[in-house]
Amino acid sequence: MSDLNIHIFDPGEKDSELTCNWCKEPHAMDAQYKAMMLERGRERIEELSPEAQEELRRKGVGPKETWTCGRCMLVLNGMEPDAIKTDCHDHEVPPREE
């Protein structure tokens, strides 16, 4: 199991949203957090090889598609979706493939 990093942010006005790349559900969030997650996604994509970046471009994967909501992140790390409180609305989490 990989390390799970938990970041706590001051709650702001939830006037933006991102769609989780695992459950495909839109999640409300403040604009500052969304900007941070898009920047993190851009950085992660830039760290990949040029070939991998091209493959993502072909598949239509950009910074918005790199974000995973808290409930899904727990499942992907082998934990129950309700093990830690997240800002996610109550939604189904697709099972993790073993």
What is the model's pTM?
0.80
Where in the sequence is the domain holding 60, given as residue range(s)?
Answer: 16-67
Domain total for the chain?
1
39 is a domain residue:
yes
- 3-state SS assignment for residue 52: helix
Distance, in Å, from the CA atom of 79 to the CA atom of 23, rounded to the nearest integer, reads 16
28 is a domain residue:
yes
8 is a domain residue:
no
Q: For position 15, what pLDDT does the model report?
A: 87
33 is a domain residue:
yes
Q: For position 98, what pLDDT does the model report?
A: 65
pLDDT along the chain (98 residues), means of 10: 60 86 95 94 96 95 95 91 88 84
